[in-house]
A and B are shown apart, each in its own frame.
Chain A
Amino acid sequence: MIKTKITGRQLFSLTAGGSLGGSVLIIAALMASIAKQDAWIGSIVTVITGLPVIWVYVFLGSRFPNMNYIEIIRTVLGKWLGSVVAASTILFYIQGSSHVPWHVGDFITSQVMPETPAYVVNALFITAIAVAALYGLEAFARATEIFLIISTIMFIFAMVLVLPNAKIENLQPVLENGFLPVLKSSVFLSCFITYPLITIMMIYPVGIDNLREAKKSIFTGYFWAGSISFLAILMSILVLGWPITANTRYPAFRLAKEIDVGIIFSRIEFIVFVSWILTQFIINTLFFYAGITGLSQLLKLKNHKILVIPAAFLALIFSGIVFPDVIYQENWIAFGWVPYIITHSFIFPVLILVVYLVKRVIEKHSVNNGKKSKENRNTDIV
């Protein structure tokens, strides 16, 4: 269905931006509240434990080079179970695309413009996403190349400027409570940097010419995002210490407020915000794009662009409904989002992989059994 092709470099920036997404600004608080001063070890553990998950995505994609994720689901799991899983995945994508604007609106209304209604901010943000989806994947992928560079430079710049305030004592004692809290915190971080990459599955096998290069760019993008979020968490704990990090709503933003080099560089915390909102834009467009292409795939529509504006309108309305307040949202992250995304980005792909491998073993077995193989294979595929 999608005829546009993107390059490996664009896939790299899509992966890195999508993976950074929501994590940079907010996740350090949750990490620090669980793992305390060892949260930075948790981010290394997350990147390593995420590798097999990314490998599952890459492997599935490389087996079905001309299909997107919804088609892969329906080919492997069959028509009925496949359609149920696909519909659930699409709901997950669309729901995800109305959560991100809530964060943007919440940030703007709580930190910058307290009297502006959140819907105004959300409407601006969603308009940008709808425009990106209307322009198509190619234009959007080219834009992310620039966005990722700006975002990374801004972020590194902020981290370098805040470096003089770092106190190494904030990291001590290392592993005071053992390794278990670190592992627990990595479960939460991986829901923000590893699992959202399921949205890449709607682009990766079908929109790519060179699969070998694509594998490499997905992994490098993932490491890129992993190292930046590691830096964010490490610096938050180094500078603020874990109690402040755990009790601040936007630790990385609070961290950038500490920047005070001479009297020239002060009050420039908004460079972190720029870096954050660009990656938020990338992950939200990925969710949105995956949702509408998936929906038009499932319903066999010829043109997915007709769905962009109604779906964006729906996402805008729900961006003010999904979370009534901050307490609800924090509760939902732990009890709703984590199991929800684990189901869709870990359990389903692994299920598909297992079913695929079992099918292949049966197929091989029937080939070895002799001439009946052809009929068996045909029934297997049907």
Chain B
Amino acid sequence: MVDIVSILLIIAFCTILCLVEIPRLLRKNQYREFGTFAVLLGAGIIFALMKFSGMTVPNPSDLILWVYSPFKEIMQSLLK
């Protein structure tokens, strides 16, 4: 299910944020800050577009569950 309203809201929000923040960062020559900002916001936009256009987004909780799956039996015994 594609959620047009949310996608438009997100694009509008991110455009305004970039227009406000990026010139200020570049004026101060803060390239490290600019890189981190771009990566974080880019990841946010990609995941948001995936989420609202109905695709399955990789879930970080699944990763953690997979990492700790060897301890599953210990946790199971604690729950009883």
Contact = CB atoms under 8 A, between A and B. Distances in A.
B36 A299 contact: yes
B47 A317 contact: yes
Q: Interface range on chain B: under 10, 10 to 19, 20 to 34, or 35 or more?
A: 20 to 34
B60 A335 contact: no
A307 B37 contact: yes
Given A317-B51, A321-B51, A321-B57, A335 B75 contact: yes
A310 B57 contact: no
Given A184-B78, A339-B71, A339-B75, A301 B36 contact: yes
B5 to A, nearest CB: 11
A301 B32 contact: yes
A322 B61 contact: yes
A340 B68 CA distance: 8
B53 interface: no
B75 A334 contact: yes
Nearest to B79: A334
Given A303-B33, A306-B25, A322-B60, A332 B47 contact: no
A307 B36 CA distance: 8
Contacts of B72: 335
A95 interface: yes
Contact of A318 (B36, B60, B69, B78): B60
Interface of A: 34, 95, 119, 184, 187-188, 295-296, 299-303, 306-307, 309-311, 313-314, 317-318, 320-324, 328, 332, 334-340
30 contacts: A34-B78, A184-B79, A187-B78, A188-B78, A301-B30, A301-B33, A302-B33, A306-B21, A307-B37, A307-B40, A309-B17, A310-B40, A313-B13, A313-B40, A313-B41, A313-B44, A314-B43, A314-B44, A314-B47, A317-B44, A317-B48, A317-B51, A318-B47, A320-B51, A321-B47, A332-B64, A332-B65, A334-B78, A334-B79, A335-B65
